Amino acid sequence: MFVVKGTALALLPLLLASTAPGYAQEAVAQKEIAPLTGYSAAASAAEREWESKFRALPSTDNLREYMRHLSARPHNVGSPYDKENAEWILAHFKQWGLDAEIETFYVLFPTPKERELELVAPTTFKAKLEEPPVSVDPTSNQQSEQLPTYNAYSVDGDVTAPLVYVNQGVRSDYEQLDRMGVSVKGAIVIARYGGAWRGIKPKVAAEHGAVGCIIYSDPRDDGYAAGDTFPNGPYRPLEGVQRGAVTNTLYEGDPLTPGYGSTKDAKRLPIKGNPLITKIPVLPISYGDAQPLLAAIAGQTVPPAWRGNLPITYHVGPGPAKVHLKVESN
């Protein structure tokens, strides 16, 4: 991971005047005369002059061009374009007179080696596990450089088990399952995004005996039921997948050095049994891939609050749906 470290320039927050028109004018006039807190009268005048200069600096043209450059290619941590971006930022910092340098950190960053998800009973279906290029985004076809759809810091696993729908997969959902007489022990759970940090879902599932976890975005929360989908709007399309880490949020720092940032010579914990790594394999999918899986689940109909907006009847399970899930990371 490449981090550009430089001298920071701090700006004082701007004071807000009252919304009453007469009072606002009077307050502004007083502030122009009264010194700023912690400043002398002379220093206040200089500070106000510098603030005016800084407010005049931002350029929308510059910002647009900078963002275009930084996002021109996939640049996940440790990738070639990540390094190019760091060097590009460093060059600009030095050009602007800042004392800057690049610091390199050695951190655990898993990338997918193998991902499989398939419905094996009562019918068969193989999940695509990919997002197609979008015509309005010329960079979306750079798929050889993109990270596949996955949840970072999932433990490796290869499991086949009955599928159980657990709503958002939070603790209160498992309390509801207990009241319904449904157990997830030995099952693979499928949970929709929302309600909690995504890392909570595999954590709580494992605590209840599940052997795998699938997370998907339901159109009720992030799709056509919420509003127009990309590229016509901001919501997730049929094959869109929410990526992200599923680390245990009780810890900070690099997963191999919980509690502090990693360096090349840091004493590291083993991956197996690491408190930040999940105990069961996890995989995120689109609602396009989720629908055939959910449609195959029978059993009790879900409570009203658990229903999504896919054109199916949502059931809890288990059975007869059975899935095979395999996750392996570099």
Question: pLDDT at position 217, please?
Answer: 96
Crossing angle of helices 80-95 and 60-70, in 10° steps, is: 150
Average pLDDT of the residues in 322-328: 97
Confidence of residue 23 (pLDDT cuts 50, 70, 90): very low
What's the rounded mean pLDDT across residues 202-228? 97
- Can you tell me the distance from the alpha carbon of 117 to that of 136, in angstroms, rounded to the nearest whole number? 29
Tell me the CA distances in angstroms from 265 to 107, 117, 261, 268, 296, one per residue in order.
Answer: 11, 38, 11, 9, 50
pLDDT at 15: 27
Mapped onto helix, strand or coil, the DSSP state of residue 241 is coil
Residue 309 CA to residue 291 CA, distance in Å, equals 10
Looking at domain 112-329, its CATH class is: alpha beta
Higher per-residue confidence, 241 vs 22 = 241
Q: Is residue 228 over pLDDT 80? A: yes
Residue 3: pLDDT band (50, 70, 90) is low
pTM for the predicted model, two decimal places: 0.80
pLDDT at 104 over 90: no
- Residue spans per domain, the chain: 2-104, 112-329
Whether the CB-CB separation of 169 and 146 falls below 8 Å is answered with no
Rounded CA gap, 102 and 48, in Å? 33
